[in-house]
Amino acid sequence: MTTTDFHLSGNYAPVHDELTAYDLPVTGTLPPELTGWYLRNGPNPRQDSAHWFTGDGMVHGVRLEHGRAAWYRNRWVRTDSFADPEMKVYQPDGTRNLRASNANTHVVNHAGRTLALVESSLPYEITRELDTVGGYDFGGALADSMTAHPKICPETGELHFFGYGSITAPHVSYYRADANGKLVVRQPIDVPGLTMMHDFALTRSHVVFFDLPVVFDRGMADGGMPYRWSDTYGARLGVLRRDDPAGGVRWVNVNPCYVFHTLNAYDTSDGRIVAHVVRYDYVFRPGHREPDGQLWRWTIDPAAGTVTEDRLDERDGEFPRIDDRLAGLDARFGHLTAAGTDGRRSLRRYDLHTGTASEHLFAPGQVPGEAVFVPADSTPGGAGWLLSYVYDAAEDRSDLVVLDAQDVAADPVATVHLPARVPAGFHGNWLPED
């Protein structure tokens, strides 16, 4: 994650055509229960961009339908600034244009709306056929950016998220929308400065914010990312009770680090909070090579004001996902995309209760993206499949690979052969048929 031009070559290079292809060839057998849409977002610049994170958003989608791969589509998210590339998020007076958006990070579905997200701006609604509907502000109730990593509580159906990026205080605010999509909570969060707050954690009873030392530096915007590592800002976690959002945040210090992504978090019976995260020693530190992300466990004791930090794996990994029906609960299994062994890439499945892991090793030159868990039945944490776009360097093309989540080391259940390359990207979701 540097400002070099690696993101404009190989599988990071943009694709220039929007395609639609029907009746895709499949190796293996697609389970008929897999009926829905797999959508994944990522940066795909129409012209040179200074950083991987700043390319225009393009969503790649595959429609699976009762054992067949019905279609593949890729479409740019046509935001206001897609139509007017001169439009910028930050104005000369420090205010923000929240409809200036590359909408390139995630795709989520809540209360009947599918939203393409980037943390600097408002969401943009798209259809399941990937057409852009337009900017979405919760009926005028949201005048802030929205994190690209909102959390949907599986028990209440509520959508929890935060907005950050205001140059003036409050730099961060916490929001909650009910199961019908109505914004019902807005709570400013007191932080000493504007930092890059990419993700957070949700449990049944708490929201946990990550105030970490990657600070805003507007003077670096021409380099692509207006953020840099700070040796002096410090690092802390903020705990807020869901049943008392106005009751204040309890802050506890952690060792300086950065977290792009949370695997999951949950409450323990003795009042602590366990969070599994992909942790970096630092990022965006000028003159330093970017370190690998590794799976760590934070055990937060709000009453004592302490955090116990445990590294669970020395191997690298990123893009953590669980069965989302267990978000905020004690999910036993988690999945990361990793380097694997012998130079091969892998999808790794962790048993967080036993501390063991298994992995699917891909052939040399094959590179998987984030793996989304799709349930096979109504039992949370049970049987299911992992779906991931996999790039094959030898053929310069991509497939949608389906793995059995309970036997990830086995050969794929099915491979959907796509008509084009899907460039390296970020996050997505499975949208089951209603």
427 is in an annotated binding site: yes
Between CA 395 and CA 393 the distance in angstroms is 5
353 is in an annotated binding site: no
261 is in an annotated binding site: yes
E strand segments, 302-392: 306-311, 318-321, 333-338, 346-351, 356-361, 366-368, 372-375, 384-392
Q: Residues near 7 by Cβ (< 8 Å), separated by ≥ 6?
A: 43, 49, 51, 52, 55
| Residues in the chain, total | 434
Q: How many CB atoms lie within 10 A of CB 16?
A: 7
Between CA 36 and CA 82 the distance in angstroms is 28
198 is in an annotated binding site: yes
**Secondary element (H or E) of residue 175:** strand 172-177
Residue 40 sits at φ, ψ, to 5 deg, of -140, 135
Structure tokens at 70: 């019905």
Q: Does residue 39 contact residue 372 with C-beta atoms inside 8 Å? A: no
Binding-site residues from annotation: 149, 198, 261, 427
Binding-site residues from annotation for Fe cation: 149, 198, 261, 427
